């Protein structure tokens, strides 16, 4: 159920900052898993039968 | 007065106007009381839940555990592992703040933390801590190995459950036993690099473990009134200040020679030997001063000097190891070589 009370401008600002932070964390996770894959498998990641 | 492990505190909670699932979960699980009903935390508040200073210390000690292991690791894997160890430590700090919100609310040092100040709801902190705990352990397992991940999981459970939920409110030995959680990061660091735990990680664990009581009890001597008001059985409140002072001296007397162990085991060199010797003597001298000066404001100042010096001592010990092993400054003592 939704809170009927409208958000104040300050609450909206904080929610936006939290959303941006979550987006940055997700992007960092993508970068971590990409780097981890390359580090674990090395150049061999591309060397496979098609 | 401590509830058995796993039971809720069942403290009176404010009525909930809206039966939102997350909110009711937070109120049923939280031991905190008297919190502001509406919370709208900032990003900085969530970051504060992770105890950033503790995270920095954990990164530092885990890095030293990695460097003294005489093995190498892919720098990307090493960096990601360090990050996950830090996130896991932060998650355990977050769970600790969730559980201890009622205690934090009555102590001046902690009453402005996000949960007692009402900026973050207990349920938000619980969810945040749990997600980060599971995530950090899984990523560490995938990045390094499952021994390191298992040690990190053990650290989180030990700090959040064994220490925070049980020992802290149950026994004056709380920080002695609970100190194991803070002492584990060097062992995790070594496990990341070598896939196992050797004598180096074990000795670094013991140094932090034995360092913890004189460090915290020096603070507890000064803050005993606050701990008493919060109902936390710290050693000065239970055994009395005189007994606490004697125990501080005993642990410092144990710590000083233990700090030299890396020299005799071959992973602490000349720089480390000098730092460990002078630092250990400094800890012992300050402890004896704390035992000698027992009255008035001077006693508090002496105890706080020991508290501050203990932080410097541990920092210098680990910095010396890092400099010797990481920067190639290691020169063994002639007698040892």
Q: Specify the pLDDT at position B337.
A: 58
Q: How far is CA B99 from CA B102, B126, B128, B173, in A?
A: 8, 8, 13, 19
Answer yes or no: are the C-beta atoms of B299 and B222 closer than 8 Å.
no
Q: Specify the pLDDT at position B93.
A: 97
Q: What is the C-alpha to C-alpha distance for residues B27 and B125, in angstroms, rounded to an integer? A: 12
- Position B13 pLDDT exceeds 70: no
Please indicate whether, in this complex, the C-beta atoms of B142 and A36 are within 8 angstroms of each other.
yes
Task: Name the minimum distance, in Å, from the CA of A6 to any CA of chain B.
Answer: 13
Q: Specify the pLDDT at position B296.
A: 87
Q: Is A44 on the interface with B (CB under 8 A)?
A: no
Spatial neighbors of A6 by CB under 8 A, at least 6 apart, are: none
Q: Which of B182, B184, B200, B195 is nearest to B67 (CA)?
A: B200
Three-state DSSP string of B166-186 = HHHHHCCCHHHHHHHHHHCHH
Containing H/E element for B127? helix B122-143
Task: Name the minimum distance, in Å, from the CA of B116 to any CA of chain A.
Answer: 19
Domains of chain B (ranges plus CATH)?
42-197 (1.10.357.140), 199-337 (1.20.120)
Q: Is A24 on the interface with B (CB under 8 A)?
A: no
* B40: nearest CB among A14, A32, A35: A14
pLDDT > 90: what percent of chain B?
82
Q: What is the C-alpha to C-alpha distance for residues B274 and B265, in angstroms, rounded to an integer? A: 15
Answer yes or no: are the C-beta atoms of B300 and B222 closer than 8 Å.
yes
Q: What is the C-alpha to C-alpha distance for residues B327 and B315, in angstroms, rounded to an integer? A: 17
- What ipTM does this complex have? 0.84
Spatial neighbors of B301 by CB under 8 A, at least 6 apart, are: none
Task: Name the minimum distance, in Å, from the CA of A22 to any CA of chain B.
Answer: 9
Average pLDDT for B183-207: 97
- How do residues B66-112 score in pLDDT, each as one tens digit? 999 888 899 999 999 999 999 999 999 999 999 999 999 999 889 99
Q: What is the C-alpha to C-alpha distance for residues B165 and B95, in angstroms, rounded to an integer? A: 10
Average pLDDT for B150-174: 96
- How do residues A5-33 score in pLDDT, each as one tens digit? 888 888 899 999 999 999 999 999 999 99
């Amino acid at each position: 159920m939704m809170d009927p009370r409208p958000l104040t401008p300050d609450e909206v600002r904080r929610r936006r900052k939290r959303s941006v932070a979550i987006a940055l964390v997700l992007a960092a996770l993508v970068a971590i898993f990409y780097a981890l894959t390359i580090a674990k498998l090395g150049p061999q990641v591309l060397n496979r039968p098609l | 007065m401590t509830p058995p492990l796993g039971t809720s505190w069942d403290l009176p909670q404010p009525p909930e106007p809206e039966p939102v699932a997350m909110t009711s979960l937070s109120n049923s699980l939280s031991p905190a009381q008297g919190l502001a009903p509406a919370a709208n935390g900032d990003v900085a508040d969530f970051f504060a839940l992770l105890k950033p200073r503790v995270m920095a210390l954990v990164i530092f000690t885990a890095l030293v555990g990695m460097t003294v292991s005489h093995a190498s690791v892919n720098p990307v894997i090493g960096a990601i592992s360090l990050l996950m160890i830090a996130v896991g430590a932060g998650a355990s700090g977050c769970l600790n703040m969730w559980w201890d919100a009622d205690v934090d609310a009555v102590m001046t040092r902690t009453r402005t933390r996000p949960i007692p100040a009402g900026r973050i709801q207990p349920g938000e902190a619980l969810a945040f801590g749990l997600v980060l705990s599971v995530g950090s352990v899984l990523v560490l397992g995938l990045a390094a190995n499952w021994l390191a991940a298992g040690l990190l999981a053990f650290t989180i459970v030990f700090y959040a459950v064994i220490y925070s939920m049980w020992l802290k409110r149950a026994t004056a030995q709380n920080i002695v036993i609970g100190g194991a959680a803070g002492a584990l990061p060097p062992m995790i660091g070594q496990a990341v690099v070598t896939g196992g735990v050797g004598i180096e990680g074990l000795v670094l664990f013991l140094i932090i473990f034995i360092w913890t009581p004189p460090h915290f009890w020096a603070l507890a001597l000064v803050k005993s009134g606050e701990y008493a008001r919060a109902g936390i059985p710290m050693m000065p409140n239970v055994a009395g200040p005189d007994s606490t002072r004697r125990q501080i001296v005993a642990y410092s007397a144990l710590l000083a020679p233990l700090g030299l162990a890396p020299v005799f085991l071959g992973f602490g060199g000349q720089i480390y030997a000098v730092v460990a010797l002078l630092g250990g003597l400094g800890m012992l001298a300050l402890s004896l001063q704390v035992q000698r000066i027992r009255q008035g404001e001077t006693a508090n100042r002496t105890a706080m000097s020991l508290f501050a010096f203990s932080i410097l001592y541990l920092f210098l010990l680990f910095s010396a190891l890092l400099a010797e092993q990481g920067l190639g400054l290691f020169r063994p003592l002639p007698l040892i070589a």
